[in-house]
Amino acid sequence: MANYMELLSFGDSGWGDELANGVVVTVTLALATLPLGLLIGFLIAVAKNSTEPLLRNAAHVYTTIFRGLPELLTLFLIYYGGQMAMSALWRLLFGHAFEVNSYLAGMIALALVFSSYASEVFLSAFRGITLGQYEGAYALGLSRSRTMLLVILPQLIRLALPGLSNLWLNLLKDTSLVSVIGLTDLLRNTNIAVGVTKQAFFFFFVACSLYLIMSIISSFGLRRVSAWAERGQGGH
């Protein structure tokens, strides 16, 4: 037992600091992806809600692709494909190769996946807002963008929040895939620890527990956000 505590200690002999750094990378990656994914997802949902069939179909193609591909494959396509494309471009422009950042590649791939799911969540939230809200805003003389910002969006957040909470928890778990392209997130650092100490079961169990703690903390946070979003709804 003392042996295990030592393995987890901070400092040169233990792996506590490496794991903590991994947690920081995992959390910041997820947090950095979130706004990007939300923004793209929202725009895609608006496009899907459009009366213009061309725009609607373009948005549906996006969802079909990024929801149908395994997350791992999306990641590799972005990482290696981006590497090749950027290298070709860079060699043309500056005459030397280009190294794609695995953090950036991971962020883009995760945002693509997150946004394709988020767009469906936003879309069904759009459906929950009655026509009367648009008509009321129109009757008040609000422009279309003001209607969206002041009338629709506040209600949309409340309706979309349960779905988005689930997607956030998925995102947190999906960040683990980025360890495969070499980003030193929690899982990657755990792998390194296992490679040195040969205590595979112990370290992976610790990693799983840390992921679990992250999602428990997220759940508490999301409950607070949900209570905030539901204020004025008469319920609790």
Partner 1 sequence: MTYVDAPSTERPPAAARRRWTGARVAGLLLMALWALLGLSIIYMLVVGYDPEEIAKYGPRILNGIWVTLHLVVLSILLGALISIPVALGRLSHNPIIGGIAFGYSYFFRGTPLLAQTFLVYYGAGQFTDALKAVGLWMFFRDAYFCAVLTFSLNTAAYQAEILAGAIRSVSSGQWQAAESLGLRPFITMRKIILPQALITALRPYGNEVILMIKASAIASIITVLDLMGQTRYAFSKTYDLQIYIWAAVIYLITVEVLRRLWEMMERRLTRHLRR
3 touches partner 1 by CB under 8 A:
no
The nearer residue to partner 1, 18 or 71, going by C-beta atoms, is 71
Q: What is the DSSP string of 175-214?
A: GGGGGGGT---HHHHHHHHHHHH--HHHHHHHHHHHHHHH
Residues 128-167 that bind partner 1 (CB under 8 A): 129-131, 134-135, 137-138, 144, 147
Structure tokens given for 206: 């610790």
Which residue from 3, 52, 94, 235 is in contact with partner 1, where contact means CB under 8 A?
A: 52
Looking at residue 10, its amino acid is F
Can you tell me which of 71, 107, 156, 222 binds partner 1, judged by CB under 8 A?
Answer: 71
Q: Does 121 bind partner 1 (CB under 8 A)?
A: no
- Is residue 24 near partner 1 by the rule CB under 8 A? no
The Cα 182–Cα 101 span in angstroms is 10
Of 28 and 215, the one with the shorter C-beta distance to partner 1 is: 215
Cβ distance to partner 1 smaller for residue 103 or 174: 174
Segment near partner 1 (CB under 8 A), from 14-22, 153-161, 184-192, 221-229? 184-192
What are the backbone dihedrals phi and psi of residue 215, each rounded to the nearest 5 degrees, phi first? -75, -30
Nearer to partner 1, 221 or 228 (CB): 221
Measured torsion, CA atoms of residues 161, 164, 170, 175, in degrees rounded to the nearest 10: -120
Angstrom distance (rounded) from CA 192 to CA 118: 34
